[in-house]
Structure 1
Amino acid sequence: MSHVGVGPRAVMRSVAFLTAGALAVPALAACTSEEPKGKPLAGRDTAAAARARVSDGGTLRWAADSVPETLNAYQSDADATTARVAQAVLPSMYRMDETGRPARNADYLESAEVVDTEPKQVVVYKLNQQAVWSDGREIGAADFAAQWRALSGKDSAYWTARNAGYDRIEKIERGGDDLEVKVTFSRPYADWKSLFSPLYPKDVMGTPDAFNDGARRQLKVTAGPFAVQRVDTKEDEVVLTGNPRWWGEPAKLEQIVLRSVPRDKRVSQLASGKLDLAEIDPETAEEVTVAAGPRDAGTGTPLMGPEGSPSASRQGRSAAQALRSWAIAKGSDEDAADEETLAREEREETLAKRERRQRALSGFEVRKSLEPAYTQLALNGADGPLADERVRRAVARALDRGKLAKAVLGPLGLPAEPVGSHVALAGQPAYSDGSGALGEQNAKEARALLADAGWVPGGPVKKQKEAEKAAGAEGDKKGDGGDDKESEGDDGTYIVGEDEKNDGKNEGDGRDDDAKDDGADQESGEKHSSGKNTAQGGAPGAYAPKGTAAPAAAEAPVAKDGKALTLRFVLPSGPGSDALRTVADRVSDMLEKIGVGTDITKVPDESYFKDHIASGEYDLALYSWPASAYPATDARPIYAKPVPAADGSLNVAQNYTRVGTDQVDQLFDRAMGTLDEGEARDLLRKADSRIWAAAGSIPLYQRPQLVAARKNLANAGAFGFETPVYQDMGFLKKGASGSRPSATPSS
């Protein structure tokens, strides 16, 4: 499964993405105002084309993850499709450019600047004189003021998801004329450009009833190149049509249909001609790429069967198999002949379907970039072994983040560099690799951290198979630790021998059979433990070539107070989660080398976040956060120190790892309150270093963005950081072509 799509900044940090889409820290001395990486790792891939080469008219059918529950991006149940709709139909004073920075949106804003800082910060917006709502009214100060009052947090009747930034506004006034809006802040606010994007009309923001219910299923008044025609829950689609009052470059498309299609159904919808644009998983991308390539590109002539048909070769069957099939079908045994003839017909039909699907997919291509989002390994520090910072740091130091990034991004031909920051991605101003505050991968030092926390090789450890069997069949017969003189006792425990304590090798422990059983469980079950010792074996007389390196021995499991260190690793089980499962398996292997076991549990997508991540029912988990052009505001709730609520519960905000410090909070607050961009950047990098050092979350890799698009569709696809320009999307005129990047990295 995958929750993808990054929309207006209002909802960018309100939802965590769950797959293919965890986190960890550099010396503070490395924090400077310089920008070590000025370019994103990958640029956009949208088949960019000048508007003159794009036809007028047509409908773009675009796959979405859902039909949104609300069209109000400031409500708690807003999602990625809400954001996509808002981008197309509502004003945004600033949009994100290709480097992940805020850029003034000239369609709405002629200028915006801080005109005073003493005694108060004052920002004056000068609006585009042509900017009007779809009902003909000018966009103006009344709309800004209504949105401020709704989102300020002062009136609890408004069911808002956030008030960051709006709570710092003191007043909003009309400026020198109708096109000016004067905003006065009660406290300095560095991320003032984040406000009023999107901007809703006062009709939506003016009263609590209108805010809470008026924009859930319809938006009567809009001000973008498109307008909302209908939200159709029966057809699972949102239909956008051109806005006749739009003053900017007219929309090339007549309609955009955002259709809810599950990830695992998108390839069939593409092949059947029901979609033109869809974000897809790597397996679908491979199928589309193969279909889009040169047909019959192989050398030589297809192998002909006895009937003069190339079908055997096309089905991947050998000449001998084809000859045998033909002989049986033409033989004297009528029953066998009938059965084989039926089988041959079924194979031909399957092949025909496959070829029809390939022909249909040949009209598409895969456009790829990196999402403005990163996948992290989250370590729950609320309780259990990971409540000890030394254990969290040991887990983090065991990981080779470069290998994990390469496992996901390498096969896709995308830059496979691990993410080095919690607050920004490569190319953004605040980005700096802060992982040095945690330290590089080092298994020896990781084991030393575990030992310092009391987790050492040796001591009675309940074996997984024995424990499961006892729990399932004889729950009343629990072991008491066994006899210290035996390697394996009647109670299903074993004692790590002196040799293992001394050198960490697993020789002569008598557990080969159990290791094999555990391996079988891993392949067949939904839940398995990787904290085990595996045996290497083979057929008698089979020898490795001379000079073959011996496989690395797993470190003896570490234990404390008679209990092995095994961490609950929770993963989503739905379609599109293959990359997460690959990463989880590799993480488990890396942890096994320092003696840490993992108990992997796969849970339904719909319960993964609510019932496990948000509720804290996990030790390790993989999920993603979108990047933001305003990290001081948007990253703070993700890493804020949890505080007790009035009812005695713990208020974690969006910090689902439950790991935070007062110092990190203070650094974010200072960054949010300074108007000096260089100072803000340095403060954010210092905060990032301390987040790394706390080892509650370990950034792994920037998420891949793979999009199947019709070959003649221009200005749409893998957008990377950049906010889409909806009025420029469309289908190329006959004979025209869009440009594609010559290389994935931005140039």
Structure 2
Amino acid sequence: MSHEGIATRSVMRSVAFLGASALAVSVLAGCSDPDPAGKPLAGQDIARAARAEIADGGTLHWAVDAVPETLNTFQSDADTSTTRIAQATLPSMFRFDAAGRPERNPAYLESAKVVETEPKQVVLYKLDQQAVWSDGREIGAADFAAQWRALSGKDSAYWTARNAGYDRIEKIQRGDNDLEVRVTFGQPYADWRSLFSPLYPKEVMGTPDAFNDGARRKLKVSAGPFVLKSIDRKAGEVLLTRNPRWWGERAKLNEIVLRAVPRDERAAALAAGDLDLAEVDPAAAKRIALAAPPRPQSPSAGGSATPLMGPERRRLTPAQKRDKARFRGFEVRKSLEPAYTQLALNGGEGPLADERVRRGVARALDREKLAKLVLSPLGLPAEPVGSHLALSGQAAYADNSGAIGGQDTAEAQALLADAGWVPGGPVEERKKGEKAAGSEADKSKKGSGSEKSEKDSKKESGKKAEKDSEKESGKKDSAKDSEGGDDGAYIVGEDNKADDDEGEHLAQDGKQYGSKQLQQGGVPGAYAPQGTAAPAGAAVRPLAKDGKALTLRFVVPQGEGSQSLRTVADRIGIMLERVGIRTEITKVSDESYFKDHIASGQYDLALYSWPTSAYPATDARPIYAKPVPAADGSLNVEQNYTRVGTDQVDQLFDQAIATLDESESRSLIRKADSRIWAAAGSIPLYQRPQLTAVRTNIANAGAFGFGTPLYEDMGFLKKGSGAPAPSSQR
């Protein structure tokens, strides 16, 4: 779900490389207001070209995070590379357009619609007359039926990661002819378009052995513009070749090589000519953009007038001049991913088990400043995310953040006071080894609102400390790609002149401020550097209850690719200090971050990301379902790692999935989102940026945003365009 910060890539439908649809969205019943879904904040940013302008042939070398462990997208260890291969080689009844909405895939379907609702829901699929598998057999009802049986959940011999939707099917039959498939549901299912995308042949789905092992290393039969030719795990490459039996528009490329390249090595691989297309981190993107000739800002790239690199292009350093030669022929395309970063609040135990405290934390955050910190330096729209269940442009989106309200210090303090946390209350001295309130371990330093390593604590304090963090982040050439919950590989590490003054107040341990030194239990962040007059009321006393300060353990990954995520965490810590909440930032290894801390509940605050889906009633329910006791006495949280849920939210999800009225289903989803906001288990912050380095002579590829790539239309522009020749022709 690559160190993406997306908790369970394989369980939730992978949307990191998918897009959305152009279906019209009706407004809520009885409502004449404009559709609150709006438009995507940033559209696809690709070099569009007509097929006539693209040369036949060539090999596209495309960076991926890893060679996939399985080619079966329905298994638990499937990843984004699995999804990319499936998109190029297998049928999908519905794909996604640039707005994040499902649309019929005309290569496989002439039509698909609900033809009966009483007594039961029946969907009739009419397949394209030419749709065949690579062995020449027609795609038909037998393939649909085999996939349903494998994913229905009725046979435990199939090792499936998910069966949502398939468990509601009652039967699948041939229609009036071989090109028609009738799917009858035992229970109404609003997200029926999510099914059979991708569709595997009956040879893969027909038996448990074939499902479990047959498609892990090879796809003998496929049906897309490309077929899987080979997987070389030693070399870290997957080779896709043009499908001679493809009935649609003939693929322009001869081959696509998916090459596993760590993110911190991609800039070097691009410069060496080993890659043509690669998602990169902001530091690498900046180097490439400085080397590329200026190009007009794409209207689809986000509506921001700010270019990626700004006026720095005027004067290049010696290193930048060298990069200009190394990255000649490349440019950076930018968009926003169909995923967002959130602040997770663990409501399972400690102070955050109290909803008033969680709401107090939420009201202390300035989400607009956090979004600006991450997105403004990239020239992308710096708007906070307003929904847990969809992003702007997707059909279910509406900004429901009003259910909890915006930044309000007085309201935050009032909520915390109502929960018994009193400003300046008596604080007992903790004995050695005693846990802080709401923390797993006491790792705080005297007077510190944010935990720093012993080495970090020796650095200079105040404004310089924050600037040093920004500079260090900006120096990173790329982000380290590892398993866990961080999205540091995707967000900018520099504050880049954010227009707030929080950096002015970042205090460090044991330093002199004004006329006195901070004392144990004092409030860091409330004092300006020595010689600065303190404004009235600037020093916020720490909150305490029952003799203990309100201290929250903020867990962050410590890898070099996570520096930018730690910058965001530090900024949040400063915001919380201003209402009297202390934070202890605990750095853990990237490898253990998600498994040992997020999933196991060993944290109070954490930052990680979720993808959004065109089918939130199906895909988002496990993330927000109310945890229930399991048979063995443990708590079954599904994917709800904040441990915050309500019966009402569960009921709204159940109602939304069971209605075939699309307007009513969207209304129920939006109501569920409002309740999720009010419970304050997670606070969406910003949509994740997507930066892609691509050769200037490559067409119809780049930053895809929500949209599903059209693999058959990718290729190299014909000679004479002024761009360098394809790598396969050099």
**TM-score of the pair, normalised by structure 1:** 0.78
Partner of 2:529: 537
Please list, as runs of the form range in 1=range in 2, the aligned pairs for 1:708-727 lying within 5 A after superposition: 708-727=693-712
| Distance in 1, Cα, partners of 2:259 & 2:348 | 40
Deviations 1:673-721 (A, max 9, x none): 0010110011001000000000001011111111111111111110111
CA contact (8 A) 1:374 1:624 kept: yes
Please list, as runs of the form range in 1=range in 2, the aligned pairs for 1:325-724 lying within 5 A after superposition: 355-461=321-427, 516-517=508-509, 532-533=524-525, 535-538=527-530, 550=535, 553-724=538-709
| Distance in 1, Cα, partners of 2:664 & 2:280 | 40
Does the alignment pair 1:173 with 2:173? yes
CA contact (8 A) 2:644 2:681 kept: yes
CA contact (8 A) 1:164 1:633 kept: yes
**CA separation of 1:31 and 1:646: change in aligned 2, threshold 3 A:** farther
| Distance in 2, Cα, partners of 1:5 & 1:582 | 16
| Residue type at the aligned position of 1:403 | K
- The alignment partner of 1:576 has SS state of helix
| Distance in 2, Cα, partners of 1:97 & 1:604 | 37
| Distance in 2, Cα, partners of 1:167 & 1:187 | 9
**Shift in Å, 1:563:** 1.1
**Shift in Å, 1:574:** 2.7
CA contact (8 A) 2:16 2:337 kept: no
**CA separation of 1:567 and 1:10: change in aligned 2, threshold 3 A:** closer
Deviations 1:653-677 (A, max 9, x none): 1111110001100001100000101
| Distance in 1, Cα, partners of 2:638 & 2:593 | 18
| Distance in 2, Cα, partners of 1:408 & 1:428 | 22
| Residue type at the aligned position of 2:90 | L
| Distance in 2, Cα, partners of 1:661 & 1:286 | 44
- The alignment partner of 2:666 has SS state of helix
| Distance in 1, Cα, partners of 2:349 & 2:46 | 46
My pick for the range that moved more, 56-65 or 109-118, is 56-65
Deviations 1:285-344 (A, max 9, x none): 11111111379xxxxxxxxxxxxxxxxxx996xxxxxxxxxxxxxxxxxxxxxxxxxxxx
Deviations 1:585-609 (A, max 9, x none): 1111100001111111222222111
- The alignment partner of 1:675 has SS state of coil
| Distance in 2, Cα, partners of 1:448 & 1:246 | 64
Selected match of 2:717 from 732, 737, 745: 732
| Distance in 2, Cα, partners of 1:439 & 1:530 | 29
Partner of 2:284: 284
Partner of 2:445: none
| Distance in 2, Cα, partners of 1:293 & 1:463 | 61
| Distance in 2, Cα, partners of 1:116 & 1:371 | 36
- The alignment partner of 2:129 has SS state of coil
| Distance in 2, Cα, partners of 1:294 & 1:123 | 50
**Shift in Å, 1:235:** 0.8
**Shift in Å, 1:273:** 1.0
CA contact (8 A) 1:31 1:685 kept: no
**Shift in Å, 1:100:** 0.7
**Shift in Å, 1:562:** 1.3
Partner of 2:47: 47
Higher gyration radius (CA): 1
**Shift in Å, 1:369:** 0.6
Deviations 1:87-143 (A, max 9, x none): 111000000111111010000111001110000000010001111111111100000
CA contact (8 A) 1:65 1:262 kept: yes
- The alignment partner of 1:406 has SS state of helix
**Shift in Å, 1:262:** 1.3
| Distance in 1, Cα, partners of 2:5 & 2:202 | 27
CA contact (8 A) 1:2 1:577 kept: no
**CA separation of 1:634 and 1:315: change in aligned 2, threshold 3 A:** closer
Does the alignment pair 1:268 with 2:260? no
**CA separation of 1:551 and 1:143: change in aligned 2, threshold 3 A:** farther
Partner of 1:257: 257
**Shift in Å, 1:13:** 4.2
| Residue type at the aligned position of 2:547 | G
**CA separation of 1:469 and 1:144: change in aligned 2, threshold 3 A:** closer
**TM-score of the pair, normalised by structure 2:** 0.80
My pick for the range that moved more, 227-236 or 364-373, is 227-236
Aligned pair count reads 617
- The alignment partner of 2:211 has SS state of helix
Partner of 2:236: 236
**CA separation of 1:106 and 1:470: change in aligned 2, threshold 3 A:** closer
My pick for the range that moved more, 180-189 or 729-738, is 729-738
- The alignment partner of 2:607 has SS state of strand
| Residue type at the aligned position of 1:278 | A
| Distance in 1, Cα, partners of 2:574 & 2:94 | 45
- The alignment partner of 1:110 has SS state of strand
Deviations 1:14-72 (A, max 9, x none): 7999xxxxxxxxxx999998522431111100111111111111111111111111110
**CA separation of 1:424 and 1:30: change in aligned 2, threshold 3 A:** farther
- The alignment partner of 2:46 has SS state of coil
CA contact (8 A) 1:189 1:672 kept: yes
Please list, as runs of the form range in 1=range in 2, the aligned pairs for 1:54-93 lying within 5 A after superposition: 54-93=54-93
| Distance in 2, Cα, partners of 1:604 & 1:566 | 22
| Distance in 1, Cα, partners of 2:269 & 2:38 | 39
CA contact (8 A) 2:625 2:640 kept: yes
CA contact (8 A) 1:263 1:575 kept: no
**CA separation of 1:696 and 1:294: change in aligned 2, threshold 3 A:** closer
**CA separation of 1:186 and 1:618: change in aligned 2, threshold 3 A:** same
**CA separation of 1:32 and 1:393: change in aligned 2, threshold 3 A:** farther
| Distance in 2, Cα, partners of 1:143 & 1:261 | 35
Percent sequence identity over matched residues? 72
- The alignment partner of 1:154 has SS state of coil
**Shift in Å, 1:399:** 0.4
**CA separation of 1:516 and 1:419: change in aligned 2, threshold 3 A:** closer
| Distance in 2, Cα, partners of 1:242 & 1:648 | 53
| Residue type at the aligned position of 1:605 | D
CA contact (8 A) 1:437 1:690 kept: yes
Partner of 1:115: 115
**CA separation of 1:164 and 1:737: change in aligned 2, threshold 3 A:** farther
| Distance in 2, Cα, partners of 1:3 & 1:737 | 37
- The alignment partner of 1:517 has SS state of coil
**Shift in Å, 1:729:** 0.7
| Distance in 1, Cα, partners of 2:523 & 2:55 | 59
| Distance in 2, Cα, partners of 1:391 & 1:575 | 32
**Shift in Å, 1:428:** 1.3
| Distance in 1, Cα, partners of 2:254 & 2:537 | 61
| Distance in 2, Cα, partners of 1:670 & 1:225 | 39
- The alignment partner of 1:659 has SS state of coil
- The alignment partner of 2:125 has SS state of strand
**CA separation of 1:720 and 1:15: change in aligned 2, threshold 3 A:** closer
**Shift in Å, 1:356:** 4.5
CA contact (8 A) 1:692 1:698 kept: yes
